[in-house]
Amino acid sequence: MTATGPEGAADKSTPPPAPAWDPVVRLTHWCVAFAVVLNGLIVEGESLIHIWIGYAAIACLLLRFFWGVIGTDEARFTSFPPSIAAAKTHLGDLLAGRHKTYRSHNPIGTWMVYALWGLLIVVSVTGLMMESEPFPPHADSAFQGFLSLFQEYERGHGHGVDKVVEEIHEVAADMVLFLAMIHVGGVFLEQRLSGTRLVRAIISGEKRARPTE
Ligand code: HEM
Ligand code: HEM
């Protein structure tokens, strides 16, 4: 999360080019965002298209996670470690009007990115569980044991394991949609306060600080 302040610029009217998001980050971002909007708001859960969109989203997420290990500098997980202290400092900077352009996600955005990814993993795993109904016959004994816990629950409460998994899937999907709204609001707020063209960066890859004066 190395930051470059505009004070480093020799000529303030032409700020130095800051690192840009690479094509893998941009492509996976927009595919996942598109999939979430389609599956969460437009397409029926029971439909085949929902499953295919879901698989596409999983493929994009896997690619992004792989890229987070071997990818470009700004895409790597090591470039945006979650830190409460760094998030507080960043908030202070924003409120004090100190402009900074980060090489990767800013320290507040970092928390949102991990929250979205965490929920998307829950949505994907539960989606796959529903999709592979009935559970694979070749499942090993440890998995069968785990499954029988749910079956106990079913006998005691009158709910199926499918029902629990489906509930988790839907609640996590709603939380993704809710956080995505805050995420977009946060992006525009950060863009305004920090002077960095974040939206342009995730579309065209170019991430420049706005001329300060
Ligand atoms: C991309 C993110 C996803 C979102 C936002 C999402 C959202 C939802 C929502 C809101 C429902 C309930 C819809 C309704 O009742 O009409 C649902 C149902 C369902 N989803 Fe997803 N989903 C996603 C990914 C997946 C994936 C990856 C799979 C499987 C590969 C999947 C499989 C299913 C199935 C089988 C149902 C039907 C459950 C039922 O009513 O029996 N979803 N999803
Ligand atoms: C359902 C919709 C969306 C979801 C689930 C979502 C999720 C994410 C995730 C997971 C990242 C991290 C990207 C990575 O490192 O690979 C991200 C970054 C970003 N997203 Fe979204 N996004 C959504 C919609 C949008 C929209 C509509 C915009 C533009 C208005 C946007 C602008 C951005 C920007 C600018 C970043 C980079 C932030 C930074 O520079 O730190 N997102 N988003």
**Domain spanning 17-208, CATH architecture:** Up-down Bundle (1.20)
| Length, in residues, of the chain | 213
Q: What is the pLDDT of residue 74?
A: 93
Q: Is 50 in the pocket of ligand 1 (CB under 6 A)?
A: yes
Going from the Cα of 162 to the center of ligand 1, the distance in angstroms, rounded, reads 12
Residue 141 and residue 144: Cα distance in Å, rounded? 5
Judged by its nearest atom, the ligand closest to the C-alpha of residue 130 is 1
What is the distance of C-alpha 22 from the center of its chain? 16
Enter the tokens of residue 124: 């994907």
* Total-model pTM: 0.85
- Mean pLDDT by runs of 10 across the 213 residues of the chain is 42 54 96 98 94 97 98 96 96 87 91 98 96 56 59 51 91 98 96 87 76 40
Q: What is the pLDDT of residue 7?
A: 37
- Tokens 């991430």 found at: 207
Going from the Cα of 117 to the center of ligand 2, the distance in angstroms, rounded, reads 11
Q: What is the pLDDT of residue 10?
A: 38
| Ligand 1 atom nearest residue 53's Cα | 1
Q: What is the pLDDT of residue 5?
A: 44
Q: Is 54 in the pocket of ligand 1 (CB under 6 A)?
A: yes
- Tokens 């830190």 found at: 83
Going from the Cα of 183 to the center of ligand 2, the distance in angstroms, rounded, reads 7
Q: Please answer whether residues 79 and 73 qualify as being in contact, where contact means their C-beta atoms are separated by less than 8 angstroms.
A: yes
Judged by its nearest atom, the ligand closest to the C-alpha of residue 56 is 1
Q: What is the pLDDT of residue 195?
A: 81
